[in-house]
Every structure is written in structure tokens, then in C-alpha cells.
Amino acid sequence: LSGFLRYMPAAAFTPLLIIYLGIDEAPKIALIAIGTVFFNMLMVMDAVKFVPQELIETTLTLGGSRRQVVTQVITRYSLPSIIDTLRINMATSWNLLVVAELLAAEVGLGKRIQLAQRFFRTEQIFADLLVLGLIGFAIDLAFRLLLRLTCRWAV
């Protein structure tokens, strides 16, 4: 199911989300969820799938419990990939948030861009785009820092 749903463009759901959820925060959250949850699920599953079987077998052979296999082997081995997955998909989330604000919002940078377009204020559009890029870059740096601080063995 998630393989099928990930090929449906999330932005195409925007009109339905606005009809069913209004123009508050709910459609924005739903749009981001639709656009990223399935990708995150698949990429996290991939990260877990590539845990070497030898690590799991060695842990069990040395008397480790299933809980220890999950918490101390699978989670630790997968965590760098999971954080990187979230970092990569954060860009998609950020883009979808702006798309939702462009279509239906009362506040936000997307709404500011829409209003600037209406009054042909291109300098305002460029300024807002610059702010969007800087915020996105700051989020990316924050995830890189999180990876460096929490997964020192993988950096």
C-alpha cells in the first residue's frame, strides 16, 4: 500500500484537504503527513533491513535478549540512517508546507508570497524565498548536528 501511495503527488491532495479540513493548520499537517510518512516508513524499513544478520546472531549467541537486539543492535545500527532519512524528508515537508500556504492560509511565508504576487511585489517574493531557503538550510544543519551529537560512531 505505501509503495502505491508514495507515487501519488501529495500536493494534489491539497484541494481535498482544504474541503474536508478547512484552512487552519489541520490540512497543512495532513498534507505533510501524506507527503512524507510513506517515504519515511520505507526508508526506515530499508535502514533496519540492512542491519547485518551477524550482529543479531552474535548478540543472541552471547545471551542477549530480543529486547537487547532491538535496543542495542538494530536501533543503534539504524539510527544514523533514520536521522538522515528524516533530514532528507524534512526538505519535502518544508516544500509541502509552503505549497499548502500558497493555496489556502491566513498567515505564513507562502501566504506572503501569494499576496506579493497579487500586487506584483517581486522584491517581496525574492525576500520571502530567501527566508525560506535560510530556514530550510538551518533545519538541515540542525539535523546534521543531531546526527553528529547522537551517533558519534557513525560520523
Which CATH superfamily groups domain 1-151? Answer: MetI-like (1.10.3720.10)
pLDDT of the residue at 154: 80
Model pLDDT, residue 3 = 64
- All structural domains of the chain with their residue ranges: 1-151
Instruction: Give 50-100 pLDDT, tens digit per residue.
Output: 999 999 999 999 999 999 999 999 999 999 999 999 999 999 899 888 888
CA 135 vs CA 48, 53, 139: distances in Å: 30, 40, 6
| pLDDT score at 80 | 95
User: Please, are residues 69 and 29 in contact by the beta-carbon 8 Å criterion?
Assistant: no
**Contact, 109 vs 131, CB < 8 A?**
yes
19/106: higher pLDDT: 19
CB within 8 A of 21, min separation 6: which ones?
A: 27, 30
CA angle 12, 131, 86 (to 5 degrees): 55
8 A C-beta contact, residue 38 and residue 46: no
Q: pTM of this prediction?
A: 0.80
